[in-house]
């Protein structure tokens, strides 16, 4: 079973004592995208990403400083770097070596810049959301840039085992569905409010993180085991095809 999650815009760039690391698989593609971004001014990045002047300037510096190699001196493991709403619920601070090993084998992180990341892959600080319309040699956006490559890489690691999709729609769209050889299960997390089910963005993101953490800590390798997930009051409702967790 393979779990897919989205990256985060918020990054924890503090040093870590964890010395175990791997390197990204799509370094050639990453360098190609970085070379495009290195040519962008702060103003161009501001417009491209729809961000503030400060965030645009920060990311211009990040791309100008981006190194061709991935070393612990200027990069950090992906699972320890991303720090958004999903990741605050993945309890990496208390992970054992065995937890990290299981995550490395069963978790993959989708990324606009890196394509598909293993948890312990070293990454350099960046911002490049998958939905950004960044012109490149293969098209007008990152979906066209990545094409079927991400899906093929997932097939390789999944080996036709089920895929648990805990990524956002923006990122999972980068996984070419015609190429995927596995059954895909996409859990939905909702709140029961005022007599109806509602999807609330923040809570849904946190729930994806909780389920990711649950899978890693409990060594879940069969989707049937996920039906027991009850963190933070969530419970499975619906039939076999409807993986809706509500509270």
Reported confidence tier of residue 38, pLDDT bands at 50, 70, 90: very high
Residue ranges making up the domain that contains 106: 2-246
Digit-coded pLDDT (tens) for 91-142: 999 999 999 999 999 999 999 999 999 999 999 999 999 999 999 999 999 9
Residue 238 has pLDDT above 90, yes or no: no
In the predicted model, is pLDDT for residue 242 greater than 90?
no
- Answer positive or negative: Cα dihedral of 130, 9, 29, 161: negative
Tell me the per-residue pLDDT of 145-192, one tens digit each, with 9 for 90 and over.
999 999 999 999 999 999 999 999 999 999 999 999 999 999 999 999
CA distance linking residue 115 with residue 142, whole number of Å = 9
Task: For residue 159, report the phi and psi dihedrals to the nearest 5 degrees.
Answer: 50, 45
Asked whether residue 28 carries a pLDDT value surpassing 80, the answer given is yes
Band of pLDDT at residue 86, cut at 50, 70 and 90: very high
| Sequence-ordered strand ranges (E) for the chain | 2-5, 76-77, 107-111, 115-117, 122-123, 163-165, 184-185, 188-193, 196-198, 235-237, 244-246
Q: Place 48 in a pLDDT band, splitting at 50, 70 and 90.
A: very high
Residue 29 structure tokens? 């593609």
The SS3 of residue 144 is helix
**Domains: count for the chain:** 1
10 Å CB burial of residue 96 (0-12, 13-18, 19+) is exposed
pLDDT of residue 52: 98
- At residue 149, the pLDDT reads 98
Position 162 scores a pLDDT of 98
Q: Are 3 and 172 in contact (CB under 8 A)?
A: no
Tell me the pLDDT of the chain averaged across its residues: 97
């Amino acid at each position: 079973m393979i779990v897919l999650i989205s990256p985060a815009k918020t990054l924890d760039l503090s040093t870590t004592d964890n010395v175990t690391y791997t390197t990204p698989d799509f370094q050639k593609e990453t360098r190609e995208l970085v070379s495009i971004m290195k040519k962008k001014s702060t103003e161009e990045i501001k417009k491209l990403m729809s961000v503030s002047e400060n965030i645009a300037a920060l990311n211009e510096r990040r791309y100008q400083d981006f190194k061709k190699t991935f070393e612990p001196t200027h990069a950090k493991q992906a699972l320890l770097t991303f720090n958004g709403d999903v990741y605050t619920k993945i309890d990496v601070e208390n992970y054992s070596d065995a937890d990290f090993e299981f995550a490395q084998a069963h978790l993959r992180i989708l990324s606009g810049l890196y394509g598909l990341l293993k948890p312990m892959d070293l990454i350099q600080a960046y911002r490049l959301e998958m939905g950004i319309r960044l012109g490149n040699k293969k098209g007008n956006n990152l979906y066209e840039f990545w094409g079927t490559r991400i899906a093929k890489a997932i097939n390789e690691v999944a080996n036709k085992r089920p895929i648990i999709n805990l990524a956002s729609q923006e990122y999972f769209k980068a996984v070419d569905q015609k190429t995927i050889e596995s059954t895909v299960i996409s859990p939905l997390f909702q709140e029961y409010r005022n007599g109806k089910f509602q999807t609330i963005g923040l809570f849904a993101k946190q729930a994806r993180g909780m389920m990711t953490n649950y899978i890693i800590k409990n060594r879940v390798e069969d989707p049937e085991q996920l039906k027991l997930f009850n963190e933070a009051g969530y419970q499975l409702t619906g039939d076999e095809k409807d993986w809706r967790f509500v509270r």
